[in-house]
């Protein structure tokens, strides 16, 4: 496997390369009903819970950063809040199945006591249970660490991707570690995960959003890579790479979608127009996959693309 350490490429360059070879696919918006003036974005991919397909999504007034995570089910082509499902005061939900158990998490945000709009810090928090209705808290990440994701491995252990920030003079990096049991998912362990070097320029950043176990034991990582232009204009792109837990090698990052592949729509703020936040990927087994993504911090969309992990399984 090609190791990308020492070969970081700006996501602006990656975006130019992607645009030259961009496939002619077009996404569509998911409709969430019953939300009033609140937006639903930064969703998970659909997952099964008690025999029903469910999506978790970040629900938020466009003028605020105070969010709730709700669970939705599809009814006649629209997504509605699932009856009896819990609501969490979190941002950016994610899910995984670990040892047959549902692991759910999101970002817990702390606000200044005198200014309810000013964010002072944040951390990832984790819940576990046999179903959504049975979720109980069990772990939390270090302060300022988002994008912590878990995956069952073939060797019986649990892989954990982390995202410390800052790291020295770098804005953020992805880390990786393994644990034997969920009880070992501690702040100290996550803070000391091995780092994946050579993925981001020091002024750029990214993180893992979802992990898929691939044929041969490698891990396909769905994530995002981001940069900021003058005026603090943000650019977020969905990306993938493969990671080999046996030797720590990782393939170069590849972009898989761009904002103009989706319908036009509103943005939370002008600096967030070009933001796609990967939520999850459903692989169809026929060379295609559906990417679910937050769009411009205001909407949730999906798009059918070529399965980005297929090439890693054919090597």
- What is the per-residue pLDDT across 134-189, written as a single tens digit (0 to 9) for each? 999 999 999 999 999 999 999 999 999 999 999 999 999 999 999 999 999 999 99
Handedness of CA 77, 78, 82, 87 (dihedral sign): positive
1 is a domain residue: no
Is the residue at 141 inside a domain?
yes
Interatomic CA distance for residues 299 and 303, integer angstroms: 13
Q: Do the domain assignments include residue 55?
A: yes
**Where in the sequence is the domain holding 175, given as residue range(s)?**
11-314
pLDDT of amino acid 315: 66
- Specify if 5 maps to a domain: no
| Residues 302, 28 contacting (CB under 8 angstroms) | yes
Asked whether the predicted pLDDT for residue 1 surpasses 90, the reply is no
* 234: CATH: 2.115.10.20
CB proximity list for 95: less than 8 A, separation 6 or greater: 44, 47, 56, 102, 103, 104, 105
239-283: per-residue pLDDT in tens? 999 999 999 999 999 999 999 999 999 999 999 999 999 999 999
Within-domain flag for 38 = yes
6 located within any domain? no
Q: Is residue 276 part of a domain?
A: yes
Question: What percent of the chain clears pLDDT 70, i.e. is strictly above it?
Answer: 98
Number of domains in the chain: 1
* pTM across the whole model: 0.95
- pLDDT score of 6: 53
For residue 194, is it within any domain?
yes
pLDDT at residue 2, rounded to an integer? 37
């Amino acid at each position: 496997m090609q190791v990308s350490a020492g070969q970081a490429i700006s996501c602006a360059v990656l975006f130019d390369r992607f645009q030259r070879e961009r496939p002619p696919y077009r996404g569509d918006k998911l409709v969430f009903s019953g939300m009033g003036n609140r937006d639903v974005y930064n969703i998970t991919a659909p997952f099964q819970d008690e025999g029903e397909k469910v999506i978790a999504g970040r629900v938020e007034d466009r003028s605020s950063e105070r969010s709730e995570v709700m669970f939705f089910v599809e009814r006649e082509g629209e997504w509605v809040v699932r009856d009896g499902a819990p609501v969490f005061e979190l941002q950016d939900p994610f899910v995984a199945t670990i040892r047959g158990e549902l692991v759910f998490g999101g970002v817990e945000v702390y606000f200044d006591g005198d200014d309810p709009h000013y964010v002072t810090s944040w951390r990832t928090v984790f819940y576990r249970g046999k179903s959504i209705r049975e979720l109980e808290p069990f772990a939390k990440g270090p302060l300022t660490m988002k994008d912590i994701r878990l995956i069952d491995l073939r060797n019986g252990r649990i892989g954990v991707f982390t995202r410390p920030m800052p790291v020295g003079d770098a804005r953020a990096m992805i880390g990786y570690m393994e644990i034997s049991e969920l009880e070992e998912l501690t702040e100290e362990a996550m803070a000391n995960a091995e780092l994946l070097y050579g993925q981001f320029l020091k002024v750029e950043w990214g993180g893992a959003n979802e992990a898929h176990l691939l044929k041969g034991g490698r891990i396909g990582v769905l994530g995002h890579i981001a940069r900021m232009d003058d005026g603090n204009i943000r650019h977020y792109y969905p990306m993938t790479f493969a990671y080999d837990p046996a030797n720590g090698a990782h393939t170069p990052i590849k972009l898989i979608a761009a904002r103009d592949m989706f319908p036009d729509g509103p943005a939370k703020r002008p600096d967030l127009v070009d933001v796609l936040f990967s939520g999850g990927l459903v692989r169809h087994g026929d060379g295609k996959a559906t990417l679910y993504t937050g769009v411009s911090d205001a909407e949730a969309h999906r798009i059918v693309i070529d399965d980005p992990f297929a090439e890693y399984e054919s090597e």
